[in-house]
Homo-oligomer: A and B are copies of this chain.
């Protein structure tokens, strides 16, 4: 019934190392991210000061190979998921301001050719985190999520790209884009495209949520690139399905962090808010809504962990990632809307963070490439 093999017993406790990282990141989320979430949203991006603090976490250099200035440590997927959950507890946008470049760095470190690594990896350590924009989110909704709304056509030494991508985080900060494109055979790969390449058109887009970071839309019109600009080189092929699945676990881990934030916020609020002479949490309609929130959040946690653990075993995790992602999308949004409902009119205003979480949780199930595990 399962399709994996392991000697390790069933376990849901954190290892010592996991606990240390968890404590550190969760504290950072509570003291640095949460208090700055509204400011970042108003400004449309994190402040420089906050970005410096986020960079100082050194999450990206950790995984950059030593040859390119990093520490070259391999993180397991479960620990990655834990980190994402902890950070998103503070704020989802701000968590993504590190999880997106981290995902790019992971992809390049794993798949790029030596030349590409040498060109792009050092800057993650020494320069901006945002020099490469990730273009995976499809602009059309009827496209298979494991395919791209950009088409790649080979033409001799060149590849011609046509189509659009949305939701490119920090797109204006980037000099290069890593774009997914499908070819005629149905293979979907990634391609490096320079900002100043001919046929590249960039525009700013705003979304319902995730307003603490800027996004771009990119339109590629007969954009001609050299075949060597394919990620990993001309003859390399990425397992794009696995990349999407990994990112879906990542997005689910972010959703988990936000769901926990909602739960932890409504519990004291409803215990303190009095109506009809009693705390409103004494009413079953309120209390049961919170019970369900707790149940689905805990369930989502276990699903995220299991998906990541399967990936760590190097077995097929496609089904588990799909189930987790759909669960996160459905219950995440339910928890988002219930969070506002529990605060009533107060929840509808900017006085409380629940309206922000409502908007951010709608991103889950839509954004495909905001984090990886």
What is the interface of chain A, defined by CB distance below 8 A to chain B? 283-285, 288
Contacts and interface: CB of A to CB of B under 8 A. Distances in A.
A158 to B, nearest CB: 46
A285 B285 CA distance: 6
Contacts of A283: 284
A37 B96 CA distance: 61
Nearest to A286: B284
6 contacts: A283-B284, A284-B284, A284-B285, A284-B288, A285-B285, A285-B288
Majority-rule SS of A interface residues: helix
6 smallest A-B Cβ distances: which pairs? A284-B284, A284-B285, A283-B284, A285-B288, A285-B285, A284-B288
Give this chain's copy count.
Answer: 2
Nearest to A288: B285
Nearest to A283: B284
A283 B284 CA distance: 7
A247 B284 CA distance: 41
A288 to B, nearest CB: 6
A183 B170 CA distance: 59
Contacts of A284: 283-285, 288
A289 to B, nearest CB: 11
A282 to B, nearest CB: 10
A285 B284 CA distance: 6
Contacts of A288: 284-285
A291 to B, nearest CB: 10
A288 B284 CA distance: 10
A285 B287 CA distance: 10
A283 B287 CA distance: 12
Nearest to A284: B284
A285 B290 CA distance: 13
A142 B284 CA distance: 42
A288 B286 CA distance: 12
